[in-house]
């Protein structure tokens, strides 16, 4: 702009919700409750109770507004409780599963 360069970072609302659900700032120990960032339909839950997961592993695939969103683990741990399954309708902020570690 007028000969000056500016670095900007533009984040849309959907990306911000997904980042928040992925647990930005999540503690490295204790329980983490993965919550739905938006209302939608659970397409699949590719993990099971007792399964070890790594940071970035897909925990839930949620369809909202005709888009499939991969909800990923914010840290390594063990899936302690799965509270949803494929085909379930979920509300925003509903707990989908719990990871401990």
Under the banding of pLDDT at 50, 70 and 90, the label for residue 77 is very high
Q: How many domains does the chain have?
A: 1
- Work out whether the CA dihedral 100, 55, 68, 16 comes out positive or negative: positive
Rounded distance between C-alpha atoms, residue 47 and residue 44, angstroms: 9
Residue 1 lies in a domain: no
Residue 83 lies in a domain: yes
Rounded distance between C-alpha atoms, residue 74 and residue 47, angstroms: 15
Residue 4 lies in a domain: no
What is residue 22's three-state secondary structure?
coil
CATH code for the domain of 77: 2.40.50.100
Q: Domain of residue 86: give its range.
A: 13-100
Residue 8 lies in a domain: no
pLDDT, tens digit, 9 for 90 and up, residues 12-62: 776 666 666 555 555 566 899 999 999 999 999 999 999 999 999 999 999
The pTM of the full predicted model, rounded to 2 decimals, is 0.73
pLDDT of residue 13: 73
Residue 59 lies in a domain: yes
pLDDT of residue 5: 80
Cα–Cα–Cα angle for 80, 23, 8, rounded to 5 degrees:
160
pLDDT of residue 21: 57
pLDDT of residue 72: 96
Q: Which one-letter DSSP state was computed for residue 68? A: E
């Amino acid at each position: 702009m007028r000969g000056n360069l500016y670095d900007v970072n533009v984040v849309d609302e959907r990306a911000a919700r997904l980042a928040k659900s992925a647990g930005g700032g999540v503690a490295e120990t204790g329980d983490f409750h993965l919550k739905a960032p938006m209302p939608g339909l659970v397409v699949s839950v590719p993990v099971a109770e007792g399964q070890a997961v790594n940071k970035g592993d897909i925990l839930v695939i949620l369809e909202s507004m005709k888009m499939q969103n991969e909800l990923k683990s914010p840290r390594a741990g063990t899936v302690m409780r799965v509270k949803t399954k494929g085909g379930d309708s979920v509300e925003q902020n509903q707990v989908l599963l719990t990871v401990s570690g």
